[in-house]
Amino acid sequence: MVQKYQSPVRVYKHPFELIMAAYERRFPSCPLIPIFVHSDIISESQSEDGATHVIERRCTLDVEAPRLLKRIAGVDYLYFVQKNTLDWRQRSLHIETYNESFSSRVIVKEHCSYTVHPENEDWTCFEQSASMDMKSFFGFESTAEKIAMRQYASSISKGKEIIEYYLRELETEGITHIPRWTPPSTTIASPQLTVNAAVIPTPNSSKEDQERVHSNLTESLPASVEDKLDADYIRHYLGELSPLNESCFIRLRQWLQETHKGKLPKDQHVLRFLRSRDFNVEKAREALCHTLTWRKQHQVDFLLDSWKCPQLLRDYYTGGWHYHDKGMKA
């Protein structure tokens, strides 16, 4: 079974350049991440104007697992490859990670991104998504899967603390501001952006061409900012959730936005369905589907919107909800 994780949008109230300086301090090794032993640079490239910096690292991890499982697997360390693409012009960092060890048995993929906050250019947003497909692992698939998810959840919760630790370290060194990237003064011609010409299908175009154009257009549209949940919003309105529970909530909410036509349930109600099914996304989705189908079948939302209190009750019934009586008298 494929395990998936999707984080909420975590906001650092610091400029992107300062966050990058703090992020780079975790390499080549980070004492704050016990399982992160070391990292070696495999390849590194930079654009002529210095705006884009791509670096690929091979990371060594010491995963906490039973000694017996390590002996059966025949390894003490696990190796992952991490590719960082830093764009100073767009002020974004995209991180792609995949496993090198046991790649024929387990497929692990992770994507993280640091981008500028859409409403405040002095803040930085962080998003993280990952998937793990455990095909076979010497007959210990279930155990290995639980260990991997536990280790991953632990590293997620420490991620923000580590960035904040290095931000404080930079502050003690007197580094509180890093200027933004500017094009080199020696550059005469302004950098040209590669723009693909739009292809508009004509009535004579083949069906394949029209589908290809449509797919290209839809893929280029980013997700709306309003559709993404902020970690502070979850904490304030839904309470403290573990990283994995946050992921379950976001995935179920995204599924509702993509598939449900009509009035969406409140976030509190979605979370209630998840809790009733012990944060099992599939079971919560099934229960939610039955409820939404029942509401639609009996026109519950229409009745709630169109129902009006009879005049008889309004004239002769003076009661009300507790603390909401007429005249606001309890």
Helix (H) or strand (E) holding 307: none
Task: Convert 173-194 to b/e letters by CB count within 10 Å (16 or more is b).
Answer: eeeeeeeebeeeeeeeeeeeee
Residue 251's domain comprises 229-330
DSSP one-letter string for 87-137: ETTTTEEEEEEEE-TTTTTEEEEEEEEEEE-SS-TTSEEEEEEEEEEE--S
pLDDT of residue 66: 65
Q: Are 15 and 111 found together in one domain?
A: yes
Residue 150 one-letter amino acid: R
Asked whether residue 186 is domain-assigned, the answer is: no
For 160-194, the pLDDT digits (tens) are 789 999 999 999 999 999 999 998 876 444 455 44
Through-space distance between the first and last CA atoms of the chain, rounded to whole angstroms: 55
Asked whether residue 255 is domain-assigned, the answer is: yes
Q: Are 166 and 234 found together in one domain?
A: no
Q: Cα 75–78–81 angle (5° rounding)?
A: 145
Asked whether residue 180 is domain-assigned, the answer is: no
pLDDT over threshold 60, residue 122? yes
For residue 118, say if its preceding peptide bond is cis, omega within 30 degrees of 0: no
pLDDT over threshold 50, residue 216? no
Report the sign of the C-alpha dihedral through residues 232, 32, 149, 84, in that order: positive
pLDDT of residue 159: 80
Helix (H) or strand (E) holding 299: none
Tally of domains in the chain: 2
pLDDT of residue 310: 84
Q: Are 39 and 166 found together in one domain?
A: yes
Q: Are 8 and 116 found together in one domain?
A: yes
pLDDT over threshold 70, residue 227? no
pLDDT band at 214 (very low <50, low <70, confident <90, very high): very low
pLDDT of residue 206: 46
Q: Are 17 and 160 found together in one domain?
A: yes
pLDDT of residue 213: 37
**Domain limit, last residue, from 172, 192, 208:** 172
Q: Are 23 and 141 found together in one domain?
A: yes
Q: Are 150 and 290 found together in one domain?
A: no
Which among 318, 8, 11 is positioned nearest to 160, based on CA atoms? Answer: 11
Mean pLDDT for the stretch of residues 286-315: 86
Asked whether residue 137 is domain-assigned, the answer is: yes
Share of residues in the chain with pLDDT > 90 (%): 32
pLDDT of residue 203: 42
CATH number at residue 106: 3.30.530.20
| pTM confidence score | 0.71
More confident residue, 1 or 15: 15
For residues 163 and 128, the answer to whether their CB atoms sit within 8 Å is no
Asked whether residue 25 is domain-assigned, the answer is: yes
For 17-72, the pLDDT digits (tens) are 999 999 999 999 888 888 889 999 999 999 999 999 999 999 998 877 666 666 66
Identify the weakest region by mean pLDDT among 32-41, 202-211, 256-265: 202-211
pLDDT over threshold 50, residue 217? no
Asked whether residue 9 is domain-assigned, the answer is: yes
For residues 326 and 318, the answer to whether their CB atoms sit within 8 Å is yes
Q: Are 159 and 251 found together in one domain?
A: no
Q: Please give the C-alpha separations between residue 301 and each of 270, 273, 296, 304, in angstroms, as whole numbers.
A: 17, 19, 7, 5
Asked whether residue 67 is domain-assigned, the answer is: yes
pLDDT over threshold 70, residue 219? no
Mean per-residue pLDDT of the chain: 80
Q: Please give the C-alpha separations between residue 162 and each of 48, 159, 168, 243, in angstroms, as whole numbers.
A: 32, 5, 10, 16
Identify the weakest region by mean pLDDT among 54-58, 111-115, 163-167, 308-312: 308-312
Asked whether residue 201 is domain-assigned, the answer is: no
Q: Are 165 and 25 found together in one domain?
A: yes
Q: Are 163 and 31 found together in one domain?
A: yes
**Domain limit, last residue, from 172, 193, 213:** 172
**Domain limit, last residue, from 127, 149, 172:** 172
Q: Are 168 and 244 found together in one domain?
A: no
More confident residue, 219 or 308: 308
Q: Which segment, 13-17, 107-111, 234-238, 247-251, is predicted with the most confidence on average?
A: 13-17
Q: Please give the C-alpha separations between residue 262 and each of 252, 259, 269, in angstroms, as whole numbers.
A: 16, 10, 16
> For residues 40 and 30, what is the distance between their CA atoms, to the nearest angstrom?
13
Q: Are 262 and 132 found together in one domain?
A: no
pLDDT of residue 212: 41
Identify the weakest region by mean pLDDT among 53-57, 185-189, 228-232, 304-308: 185-189
